[in-house]
């Protein structure tokens, strides 16, 4: 088995042919920068976001979840600086109007759309927020935006959480949700899209302790990547230099992953100081101070922010899991997805589709697994047991390998004789004969 590094095309084509990810609105010619998740893609995505939520919210005592609205009062984005400065420098071709992001443009090359040379205009800032109006009247005061990040929905609820729960400090608020950026040039599959999902935490600490907590969060992030079987050799922790950091950040570490197209950002950890809470304080006149339970001096908490992009994680998971080998003289593509996130955990096959006695027995096994999978330790909430009777057994194995199903269970004529089934392992392709009575224990 070799761990071939896939090309972007390998990933895109596997995602399309096996029902993970499709181009958005494809049947109408598509809509640039949007992607739709098919049955396997949505399951993989949910498994990842559920694992994140369980790890960072449910399994911790210091974390509070929120699910804030995508549309927010425009004052949020004025106070946070997004209305003024959330912009990329844009260059437009004076001949045809093709827009480029300045940092993606090679001035030496002709326009990709019309072929003109030296037709590039001057750079001007392009605000990436999607603007809309709330209610029937279109005027300045009805302007709202599709949120460009989930973080502000957390900061605006900080006071609610403190007032309702009065947590010990440090504590965190977590959110998973959609965000939107009107990218000038979306590209590299789901890596840079206009609609995407974030998993973010704002972790509130006393300013004296930020360094300690920054280090702890680096460790927690590494642990989570390991749970997704993203090997540490495939990502690099990059200290972002001062001139490239957001002005409010005193320290930022980017986790760059070796994607098929290039090494680029997977997620980030930023120390945002008290920038956001003091902005809210200034803009609303409401105190954001935390009152320590030991009656020491109240203070505005500082913030450590781990920020994960769901689509980028999916790309990193697929790239890490992608493998090729040879089985019976033929090339095999398979995904070595960890069991905890594989969209299908177990596939059940009757050897032949047209033998009622095989089908009946196989349905029994399928139902038993389906009923038990939810209570199997280690397989909890891990979803799917799939039924597959389409094509010959070799084809079915191939299909399940490509979607990363760890185990396949086949019911054949011997099953009718002695109540045993064949359990086949995805990675080794080894098969073992297992008694139906012992099947669940053997899969644990």
User: Is residue 111 a contact residue for Zn ion (CB under 5 A)?
Assistant: yes
Binding string to Zn ion for residues 63 to 102, with x set by CB under 5 A, is what? ------------------------------x-xx-x----
Q: Within a 13 Å sphere around the CA of 424, how many CA atoms are in the beta-carbon half?
A: 19
Preceding peptide of 421 cis, ω within 30°: no
CB of 122 to Zn ion, least distance (A): 15
**Residues in Cβ contact with 292 at an 8 Å cutoff, skipping those fewer than 6 apart:** 169, 298, 299
Write the DSSP symbol of residue 168.
Answer: P
- Rounded to 10 degrees, the C-alpha dihedral 276/278/279/283 comes to 140
Binding string to Zn ion for residues 173 to 212, with x set by CB under 5 A, is what? ----------------------------------------
Q: Looking only at residues 31 through 60 of this chain, which bind Zn ion when binding is defined by CB under 5 A?
A: none
Whichever of 93 and 347 has its CB closer to Zn ion, that residue is 93
Count of positions on this chain that bind Zn ion (CB under 5 A)? 8
CB of 31 to Zn ion, least distance (A): 22
CB-based contact 426:406 (threshold 8 Å): yes
Whichever of 100 and 224 has its CB closer to Zn ion, that residue is 100
Q: How far is CA 76 from CA 80, 145, 175, in A?
A: 6, 10, 17
CB of 181 to Zn ion, least distance (A): 24
CA distance linking residue 203 with residue 32, whole number of Å: 35
Helix (H/G/I), strand (E/B), else coil: 266: strand
CB of 151 to Zn ion, least distance (A): 37
**Residues in Cβ contact with 366 at an 8 Å cutoff, skipping those fewer than 6 apart:** 348, 385, 387
Q: Looking only at residues 319 through 358 of this chain, which bind Zn ion when binding is defined by CB under 5 A?
A: none
Whichever of 95 and 274 has its CB closer to Zn ion, that residue is 95
Whichever of 32 and 96 has its CB closer to Zn ion, that residue is 96
CB of 95 to Zn ion, least distance (A): 4
User: Is residue 112 a contact residue for Zn ion (CB under 5 A)?
Assistant: no
Neighbours of 422 (CB within 10 A): 18
CB of 93 to Zn ion, least distance (A): 3
CA distance linking residue 254 with residue 190, whole number of Å: 19
* Contacting range for Zn ion; rule: CB under 5 A; set: 111-119, 178-186, 220-228, 383-391: 111-119
CB of 317 to Zn ion, least distance (A): 38
CB of 120 to Zn ion, least distance (A): 9
* Contacting range for Zn ion; rule: CB under 5 A; set: 35-43, 103-111, 253-261, 353-361: 103-111
Helix (H/G/I), strand (E/B), else coil: 220: helix
Chosen residue from 4, 5, 113, 395 binding Zn ion by CB under 5 A: 113
User: Is the dihedral angle over the CA atoms 171, 176, 182, 185 positive or is it negative?
Assistant: positive
User: Is residue 105 a contact residue for Zn ion (CB under 5 A)?
Assistant: no
User: Is residue 114 a contact residue for Zn ion (CB under 5 A)?
Assistant: yes
Q: Which residues sit opposite 332 in a β-bridge?
A: 325
Whichever of 124 and 353 has its CB closer to Zn ion, that residue is 124
CA distance linking residue 71 with residue 81, whole number of Å: 17
Whichever of 116 and 278 has its CB closer to Zn ion, that residue is 116
**Residues in Cβ contact with 356 at an 8 Å cutoff, skipping those fewer than 6 apart:** none
The angle formed by the CA atoms of residues 386, 377 and 201, to the nearest 5 degrees, is: 90
CB of 104 to Zn ion, least distance (A): 15
Give the DSSP H/E element, type plus range, for residue 160.
helix 158-165
Residues near Zn ion (CB under 5 A): 93, 95-96, 98, 111, 113-114, 116
């Amino acid at each position: 088995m070799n761990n071939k590094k896939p090309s972007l095309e390998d990933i895109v084509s596997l995602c399309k042919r096996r029902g993970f990810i499709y181009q958005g609105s494809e049947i109408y010619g598509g809509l640039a920068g949007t992607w739709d998740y098919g049955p396997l893609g949505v399951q993989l995505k949910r498994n990842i976001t559920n694992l994140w939520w369980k790890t960072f919210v449910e399994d911790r005592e210091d974390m509070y979840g929120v699910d804030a609205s995508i549309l927010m009062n425009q004052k949020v984005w004025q106070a946070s600086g997004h209305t003024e400065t959330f912009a990329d420098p844009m260059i437009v071709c004076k001949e045809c109007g093709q827009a480029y992001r300045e940092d993606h443009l090679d001035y030496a090359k002709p326009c990709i759309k019309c072929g003109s040379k030296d037709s590039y205009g001057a750079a001007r800032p392009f605000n990436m927020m999607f603007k809309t109006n709330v209610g029937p009247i279109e005027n300045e005061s009805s302007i709202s935006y599709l949120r460009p990040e989930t973080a502000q929905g957390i900061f605006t609820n900080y006071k609610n959480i403190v007032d309702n729960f009065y947590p010990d400090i440090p504590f965190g608020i977590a959110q998973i949700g959609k965000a939107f950026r009107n990218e000038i040039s979306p590209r590299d599959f789901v890596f840079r899209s206009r609609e995407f999902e974030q998993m973010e935490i704002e972790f509130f600490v006393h300013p004296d302790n930020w360094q300690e907590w920054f280090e702890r969060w680096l460790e927690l992030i590494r642990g989570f990547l390991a749970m997704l079987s993203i090997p540490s050799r495939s990502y690099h922790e990059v200290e972002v230099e001062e001139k490239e950091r957001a002005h409010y950040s005193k320290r930022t570490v980017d986790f760059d992953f070796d994607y098929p197209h290039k090494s680029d950002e997977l997620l980030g950890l930023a120390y945002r100081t008290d920038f956001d809470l003091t902005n809210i304080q200034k803009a609303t006149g409401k105190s954001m101070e935390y009152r320590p339970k030991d009656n020491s001096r109240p203070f505005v908490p500082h913030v450590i922010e781990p920020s994960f992009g769901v689509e980028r994680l999916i790309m990193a998971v697929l790239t890490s899991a992608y493998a090729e080998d040879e089985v019976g003289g033929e090339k095999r593509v398979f995904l070595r997805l960890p069991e905890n996130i594989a969209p299908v955990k177990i596939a059940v096959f009757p050897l032949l589709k047209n033998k009622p006695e095989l089908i009946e027995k196989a349905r029994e096994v399928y139902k038993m697994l389906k009923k038990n999978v939810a209570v199997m330790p280690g397989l909890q909430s891990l979803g799917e047991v799939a039924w597959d009777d389409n094509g010959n057994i070799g084809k079915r194995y191939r299909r399940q390998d490509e979607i990363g199903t760890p185990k396949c269970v086949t019911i054949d004529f011997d099953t009718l004789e002695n109540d045993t089934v064949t359990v086949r392992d995805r990675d080794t392709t080894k098969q073992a004969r297992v008694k139906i009575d012992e099947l669940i224990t053997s899969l644990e």
